[in-house]
Structure 1
Amino acid sequence: MKQELVLITGMSGSGKSVALHALEDAGYYCVDNLPPELLLPFVQLEQQHSASKIAIAMDVRSAQSLPLVPAQLAHLRALDVDVRMLFLDATTEILVHRFSETRRRHPLSRKDDEFVRDQQRDLVEAIELERELLSELREESHIIDTSLLRSTKLQSYIKSLISAPATQLTLMFESFAFKRGIPVHADYVFDVRMLPNPHYEAALKPLTGRDEPVAEWLAAQASVEKMAEQISHFLETWLPDLNHDHRSYVTVAIGCTGGQHRSVYLVELLSQRFAKSWITLKRHRELDITP
């Protein structure tokens, strides 16, 4: 059986432990905070032990040796290991709030020998330094914005991502509300706020784009179908090239004002259409954060 490796990196406080637990539940042999120098020998050792599914978490505590990781992953791919990289992120405001709630110290909250010994580092400064140190790994990874995700939703999201075959491009459609900000992990963002809005129809306002009355109302609007056709044409044009470029995931974010009706409907519609040709997942950010 071909060996699978999921490498989880990301910001401190973004949910890496939650993601690792989800992979453990999915049958992966998991290791937290493995030093990058041990990545190659560890994976090769597990090959001898017939471990076919491995998940490893690395973070900024290994900052000195993180630059070694891209070359090591390229070497593992050359050995026919299926490698996936997931980067968990969140806004600085959310990360500050999480650290304040838990009263944990950020790994970079003290300046080390490379800076000024024993001088306390401001939390926001530490977070921004962490972003800089992890930027290269972030560029090569599929990014998951956990700012508005509850732990249970993050776990199910991780499981849905790794359930797709690693050798094929996975297309993720995501609805969101502009009033809560654009998803930081989106590869393409489409603004559909100019479309007719069911929010102003009394009977439709409390429903979502997944409900049949809303779907029927939007399907009857010519501009909505025109938008769906134009997004489809763009993706049909460029997805083959993205797949040829060995992309593992492509996230298409569709946003409206509240993330309840128009964007949800279009994600449902487009994910159904593209499922005939691509591995397709869907996520509704604002509905996921509703208790």
Structure 2
Amino acid sequence: MKLVILSGRSGSGKTTALQALEDLGHYCVDNLPLGLLPILTEQLQREEHHVDRIAVGIDARNLPHQLSDFPAILDQLKALNMACEVVFLDAADDTLLKRFSSTRRKHPLSNDNLSLVEAIDREAEMLSSIRSLADLVIDTSNLDVHTLRDMIRERVVKRREKLSLLIESFAYKRGVPHDADLVFDVRVLPNPYWHMELRPLTGQDEPVRNYLDQQTESAQMLDDITRFLCEWLPRYEKNDRTYMTVAIGCTGGQHRSVYMVEALVQRLSNLGVDVQQRHLELSR
């Protein structure tokens, strides 16, 4: 039996993710009191019609003392020989503010004495013990519901037993993604932006690829990042890491970082590495 504990801040997409898991065959329970989680799993293990996959949504509506006890509860589950994965969804504060403002929903923690901004901050504190133990953190700031559902399917449900690797490009002008485990800065490479004929294109377009292929620094950077990942990813995997997100950034997230992600994914795929990719800026 496999248990997915799905948590995250309000407005980050937990409902969408939990619905995706249910559609993909999980027995789903939302907003379960954390203290009942070991009891639920024991009961389901004893069921005549065995349940293979469970997904439980945990959020800030839980009892505060049980949220702080999450590490101990997780240890209890592992003592029951339960295969557990903790998935945490998050988004930038300004994104969460916009989502609540546009939907006119009330934040579960906000009240007459606590503003929306304060509620968002308070929720981050309350869920910090879960986030710190998450196997996978997904930053949904730039994801629509369809992309999030696809990511849950590919990275959580269909994931092989070996480490799941995602390489993403991003723009430093918008900040480093919240879900990045490793970050590489390629702003040192020559910038196609300063060539007017290349400016409107992206790193997926042949003229930009040709330009960067001609730069000695591009090949050196690609070789170095490939060598680093090939050396260290197996060690992360041996250390029980099930997910890794590698973020590669340039100033605008349009040319150099996209080019590097595309080239790196191609090279790693040729080496037999199971890898996925996404381009945060291009998806806007």
TM-score scaled by length of structure 1? 0.88
Matched, 1:132 2:125: yes
1:196 counterpart SS class: coil
**Displacement after TM superposition at 1:202 (Å):** 4.1
* Alpha-carbon separation, structure 2, partners of 1:267 and 1:252: 9
Cα offset for 1:233?
2.3
- What is aligned with 1:14? 12
Cα distance change, pair 81–215 in 1 and its aligned pair in 2 (3 A): farther
Query: Whole-Å Cα distance in 2 between the matches of residues 25 and 214 of structure 1?
Result: 40
Q: How does 1:95-106 map to 2 (within 5 A)?
A: 95-106=96-107
Alignment partner of 1:282 is 2:277: yes
Q: Deviations over 1:134-156 (max 9, x none)?
A: 11111111211111222222111
**Is the CA contact (8 Å cut-off) linking 2:70 and 2:129 kept in structure 1?**
no
**Equivalents in 2 of 1:64, 1:234: separation in Å?**
41
Q: Specify the code of the residue in structure 2 equivalent to 1:288.
A: S
User: What secondary structure sits across from 1:137 in the alignment?
Assistant: helix
Q: Contact conserved, 1:145 with 1:184, CA < 8 A, in 2?
A: yes
Q: CA deviation at 1:43?
A: 2.0
Alignment of structure 1 residues 237-276 onto 2, 5 Å: 237-275=231-269, 276=271
Query: Are the aligned partners of 1:170 and 1:278 in contact in 2 as well (CA < 8 Å)?
Result: no
Counterpart residue type for residue 181 of structure 2:
D
Partner Cα separation in structure 2 for residue 54 and residue 185 of structure 1: 24
- Farther-moved stretch of structure 1 (172-181 vs 210-219): 210-219
Cα gap change, 1:222/1:129 in structure 2, threshold over 3 Å: closer, same or farther?
A: same
Q: What is the aligned partner in structure 2 of residue 167 from structure 1? A: 161
User: What's the offset of the Cα at 1:78?
Assistant: 4.1
**Contact 2:68–2:126 under 8 Å retained in 1:** no
Cα distance in 1 between the residues matched to 2:86 and 2:160: 11
Q: CA deviation at 1:82?
A: 2.7
Cα-Cα RMSD: 2.0
Aligned match for 1:34, one of 32, 54, 59: 32
Correspondence for 1:45 among 43, 46, 71 = 43
1:198-237 aligned within 5 A? 198-237=192-231
Percent identity, aligned pairs only? 48
Per-residue Cα deviation, 1:20-44 (whole angstroms, up to 9, x for no partner)? 1222222222221111122112223
Residues of 2 paired with 1:280 and 1:82: CA distance?
23
> 1:278, CA displacement in angstroms?
3.5
* 1:126-184 CA-partner distances (Å, limit 9, x unpaired): 11111111111111112111112222221112222114536322221110111122101
Q: For 1:43 and 1:214, how far apart are their aligned partners in 2?
A: 53
For 1:69-126, what per-residue CA distance to the aligned partner results, in whole angstroms no more than 9, with x for missing partners?
Answer: 333333333444332211111122221222222222222213xxxxxxxx52122111
- Correspondence 1:102-121 to 2 at 5 A: 102-110=103-111, 120-121=113-114
Structure-1 separation of matches of 2:71 and 2:161: 18
Structure 1 residue 277, shift from structure 2 partner = 4.6
CA deviation after TM superposition for structure 1 residue 273, in Å: 2.5
Q: Distance in 1 between matches of 2:229 and 2:77?
A: 31
The 2-side partners of 1:166 and 1:109 are apart by: 40
Pick aligned residue for 1:183 from 177, 188, 191:
177
* Residue from 139, 164, 172 that aligns with 1:145: 139
What corresponds to 2:22 in structure 1?
A: 24
Q: Which amino acid aligns with 1:125?
A: E
**Residues 1:195 and 2:196 are matched in the alignment:** no
2:89 corresponds to which residue? 88
Which runs of structure 2 are paired with 1:64-75 in the superposition (5 Å)? 64-75=65-76
**Residue identity in the other structure for 1:34:** L
TM-score (norm 2): 0.90
Deviations 1:58-78 (A, max 9, x none): 100103312333333333334
Take 2:25 and 2:197, find their aligned partners in 1: how far apart are those partners?
45
Per mean C-alpha deviation after superposition, the further-off stretch among 205-214 and 244-253 is 205-214
